Structure 1
């Protein structure tokens, strides 16, 4: 038992620091979610059953609704649900810790820095969404991170579980599906096993059935599908407080412009898609070529490849946030832990630091809880643009050096 405790990635100081944060984080947050939507949906699930929650006005994916149902069951009454809705932060905070610890533990053989996870856990840019804003972005992000780690280490059944969970946690996780596919192609290309494929499919199907069974049996599955269909276009604005490229392109406030308006023959929404898919292709190309090279030459995945993977994933997160319409201020969050993983592997921390600052400038510039960003949104947008440019330069510089070598 003592050896098991010593080898565990979770240490006593993690528990101590988590307890300290629980004791001091404010009980306030983004009112519309923390004190309105979420307790209302939790109450609805308590009174009508989880299977009927899609008959309410919820627009969330199922995993979080499962959590709201059990949150309501835990408190038992509408009054207690509303009075204690701030406690949802404690649940989200577990995922902040899980993501930081998972990265530090999985990559520990590649670096020598002690207590590396605290570069995230002492990072206000990383913790702000949970501790101040009271949002759930750490949940899908940590699940995606676990999927990457499991795919890299060929723990394919666990990978199938986390890949499936990530989509049902937040639909935006779909932007990371190509990474799941690339790593899976490598693992199957090096060692093909049809039984493993069937087992992975089985894990994915069973996971989906467990998640969706209340809504299938309760007759509200079509309402769930409606939420999925309408998720794109739910906030038809050029920006939903994301300080991104649209603040540099447009003179008018992007939050006040409908993204279905036409510019140069196309809607702003379609221009966002064009920029996203173009930049994504540019970003992905070196990783795809490097993966194919390793498959054909029967090479194992090494530290340089791992660094390229995390750098590319973080860059895609920035691209998604920076050029698409309908982006919220929090949608750059996944880039922070992914750039952190890249930093540990490459010993280059500048992009990680810049992204932590830019994200904090955006979320607090919107929320204004700490008053950290008195500047115009355009300055934050420029910083995100610099981060994207540096990332692309790094991706292609590393790729060029590898080809020369």
Structure 2
């Protein structure tokens, strides 16, 4: 009997390995076809190619001083520099909108799929694991962002995800990876409140200082290396200002094509200056930050009160916080929704009830990107996306409180059951 069971397990594993290989091939082919068919957002890609050449010519340490248009942190520039050196050695020229540049983004996507296979290894149900991998690997929104648009939001999103998944059991590596996420894009700081409250809870409730200590050491290590490198190159101040401080508040519209609450939902046109007074002397910018602050407090309370296991708590809180960051403040770009979508897909590792948010976000993120690429951003084409996004944000917060074990959760109306009562796999 045991022999037969073992044979079945071996056969299942072989089938799954075959499925993964086929999925990787499909993910690569579809991305190549999309990249070949659509040039994407030439402005972004043109800057990336320009930055790549600056890194090749002046080195990573001198690129920021030589090119004042660089406004990304150094990690992606370093990756592009390596890629540019490889293409140069092969005699291949890089052009915006062409496969020669987008191939790098496809490689990053495929590396993310391989990482997803590893991160889902704890799921014993091969069918459910396969569903999650397909939803991630062939997600039309994620493919639109990279293979079509030509952006690299997958890189910092996966680093953010890995930092949260390792926080409870590998705090040192979590700190290292989170530092790398910040060195890739400043948006990664979105999940810092979740990290902070979790480490604080462990410190206070369990009187265990080791996770905080190890995470801090891990976080400092890449930063010390980066600061030392740019300090020796004489470009530390320039790098910090261009990649971080000057990049904040550069755009003053209430929304930069992000279909959130500022996209006609509250009766304000997207191009409105966010420094204008909304009411009672409060600017729209400050009101947006206030809404985000309230959401952060609520999500931190969920982390504090939750009865769920650590990884589930961290993934759900991060998904909700990333979506709140996209939905509530002003000056948000359409692509800032990508981390929220990535986290939501991986919440499915722990809770099947998040299928609806994952599906709806896939739809709204994809349509938001397509409408911007088509230069067709109007109330008629986009307000429905903003409304659905509001619904998803509310739904997410409802799901959080269902797992918080508080009286608030029990007082809220019930949702349709997609799994068992606990929502576990």
Quick check: TM above 0.5? yes
Q: Is 2:320–2:397's contact at 8 Å kept on the other side of the alignment?
A: yes
TM-score (norm 1): 0.84
1:376 is paired with a residue whose SS is helix
Q: Is 1:140–1:170's contact at 8 Å kept on the other side of the alignment?
A: yes
Matched, 1:329 2:341: no
2:57 is paired with a residue whose SS is helix
The answer for the alignment partner of 1:29 in structure 2 is: 40
The answer for the alignment partner of 1:124 in structure 2 is: 140
Q: Is 1:286–1:396's contact at 8 Å kept on the other side of the alignment?
A: yes
The answer for the alignment partner of 2:367 in structure 1 is: 361
Deviation at 1:141, TM superposition (A): 0.8
2:253 is paired with a residue whose SS is coil
User: Which residue of 397, 401, 414 maps to 1:396?
Assistant: 401
Deviation at 1:80, TM superposition (A): 1.3
Distance of aligned partners of 1:260 and 1:10 in 2 relative to their CA distance in 1, 3 Å threshold = farther
Q: Distance in 2 between matches of 1:9 and 1:202?
A: 40
Matched, 1:139 2:166: no
Distance of aligned partners of 1:372 and 1:325 in 2 relative to their CA distance in 1, 3 Å threshold = closer
Matched, 1:12 2:7: no
Q: Is 2:105–2:147's contact at 8 Å kept on the other side of the alignment?
A: yes
Matched, 1:61 2:66: no
Mapping for residues 200-349 of structure 1, pairs under 5 Å: 200-227=215-242, 228-249=244-265, 251=267, 253-254=269-270, 256-264=271-279, 265-290=281-306, 302=309, 306-348=311-353, 349=355
TM-score (norm 2): 0.80
Distance of aligned partners of 1:258 and 1:163 in 2 relative to their CA distance in 1, 3 Å threshold = same
Deviating 4+ runs (over 6 angstroms): 5-10, 371-374, 401-405
Deviation at 1:90, TM superposition (A): 2.1
Q: Is 2:194–2:303's contact at 8 Å kept on the other side of the alignment?
A: no
Q: Is 2:31–2:143's contact at 8 Å kept on the other side of the alignment?
A: no
Distance of aligned partners of 1:104 and 1:134 in 2 relative to their CA distance in 1, 3 Å threshold = same
Q: How many residues align?
A: 385
Q: Is 1:95–1:138's contact at 8 Å kept on the other side of the alignment?
A: no
Mapping for residues 77-116 of structure 1, pairs under 5 Å: 80-82=93-95, 84-98=100-114, 100-105=116-121, 107-109=122-124, 113-115=128-130, 116=132
Q: Distance in 1 between matches of 2:320 and 2:283?
A: 25
* Deviation larger for 209-218 or 228-237: 209-218
The answer for the alignment partner of 1:175 in structure 2 is: 190
Q: Is 1:51–1:215's contact at 8 Å kept on the other side of the alignment?
A: yes
